[in-house]
Amino acid sequence: MQQNQQTILITGAAGFIGGHLAHVLAGRTEIRLILSDDFDRADKTENWSDLEGVTRIPRTELIERLNAQEVCPHWVIHLGARTDTTEFDYSIHEALNLNFSKQIWTYCANRQIPLIYASSAATYGNGEHGYADDVSLLPNLKPLNPYGLSKHQFDCWAMEQSNFQPPHWYGLKFFNVYGFRESHKGRMASMVYHGFQQIRARGVVRLFKSHRAGIADGEQRRDFIYVKDVVRVIDWLMGCSAPSGIYNLGTGQARSFNDLIRAVFRALELPPRIEYFDMPADLRDTYQYFTEAPMEKLRAAGYPYECYSLEEGVGDYVRHHLLPAADRG
């Protein structure tokens, strides 16, 4: 190892955000990477296979090898999770999102290793208590699905560990992240990805109808954030002295799904064509019609960068990543 080289462990490193972060950090000579995930999934191979000089550890072996001190990271970036919001078997989320995260936290607290972990805007549920990342509001939050519940329960558990913490730690409540390296997510990939595929196949995009009075079809609004901004925040946190705690990670501006799809058509230089269909009945009670991330807390901690606008982020994703990949394939 080079003198003064930092070792960084990324869990979920074969996934969407983890794969991005790994590629950003891999080019830096002062960093050595340890990647952990399920590397047997063929649909994730392109997210990590071109990275050289990294150590890969299967997720099922990670805790044992950390405790045996086979690897000794200076930072842990814990992005690994079961992210399927339509998976209603809570035991799956409990094992991967709650209990495994507790093991990661315990390791970092015992070894005094800084930790960044992925939380989620799904913890806010219907947003009846707003979306402020004020930890005093945590007891009031009511997630709508087992995924959001597992993330919320870990946030609550982390806040209870006032006498047993990593030296610096940050829980990031990701809002709707989109960008390249997400194709393996299937139906959980962003509507930018699915919209692009539908336009290429049929020239039209299908969106859920609204089943809520006062909200027009396609006017369900989310805080969509480009994956490049998410990775930039993580990178910044590793080099700053922001107060430990839970932070929102979005753009601070909710936009409609209609806006999102119009941006895809615009990037393709095509007129928008959108159709609406009934939302599946089993999703209607667990669907978030609005999310928006107040970002004052991260700004107050010193974060200096502006996010991509929806049009900028979608345009970059479509023109520089989705189109070239489609033309190759």
Predicted confidence pLDDT, tens digits, the chain (329 residues): 455 789 999 999 999 999 999 999 998 989 999 999 999 999 999 999 999 999 999 999 999 999 999 999 999 999 999 877 778 888 999 999 999 999 999 999 999 999 999 999 999 999 999 999 999 999 999 999 999 999 999 999 999 999 999 999 999 999 999 999 999 999 899 999 999 999 999 999 999 999 999 999 999 999 999 999 999 999 999 999 999 999 999 999 999 999 999 999 999 999 999 999 999 988 888 888 999 999 999 999 999 999 999 999 999 999 999 999 988 86
The active-site residue out of 102, 185, 209, 228 is 185
Residue 237's nearest CA partner among 305, 180, 177 is 305
Beta strands in 45-147 (DSSP E): 55-58, 75-78, 115-120
Residues sharing a CB contact under 8 Å with residue 84, sequence separation 6 or more, in sequence order? 147, 188
Q: How far lies 240's CA from each of 131, 235, 310, in Å?
A: 25, 9, 27
Residue 13's nearest CA partner among 41, 296, 71, 187 is 41
How far apart are alpha carbons 135 and 270 in whole angstroms?
Answer: 44
CATH fold of 179-222+254-291+310-328: UDP-galactose 4-epimerase; domain 1 (3.90.25)
How far apart are alpha carbons 101 and 74 in whole angstroms?
Answer: 18
Residue 134's nearest CA partner among 298, 286, 315 is 298
- 74 secondary structure, DSSP code: S
Both tokens assigned to 35: 């990647």
Q: Which residue intervals of the chain bear CATH 3.40.50.720?
A: 6-177+224-252+293-300
Whether the full predicted model's pTM is greater than 0.75, yes or no, is yes
Active-site residue flag, 317 = no
- Tokens 């405790």 map to which residue? 67
How far apart are alpha carbons 110 and 112 in whole angstroms?
Answer: 6
CATH class of 6-177+224-252+293-300: alpha beta
The active-site residue out of 124, 131, 147, 178 is 147
Both tokens assigned to 94: 């409990």
Active-site residue flag, 147 = yes
Q: What is the dihedral of CA 84, 173, 179, 200, to 10 degrees?
A: 50
Supply the pLDDT for residue 1: 45
Both tokens assigned to 134: 């004020």
- Tokens 């597992």 map to which residue? 150
Supply the pLDDT for residue 329: 66
Q: How far lies 198's CA from each of 175, 208, 222, in Å?
A: 24, 14, 21
Apex 193 CA angle, 154 and 326, nearest 5: 135
Q: Which residue intervals of the chain bear CATH 3.90.25.10?
A: 179-222+254-291+310-328
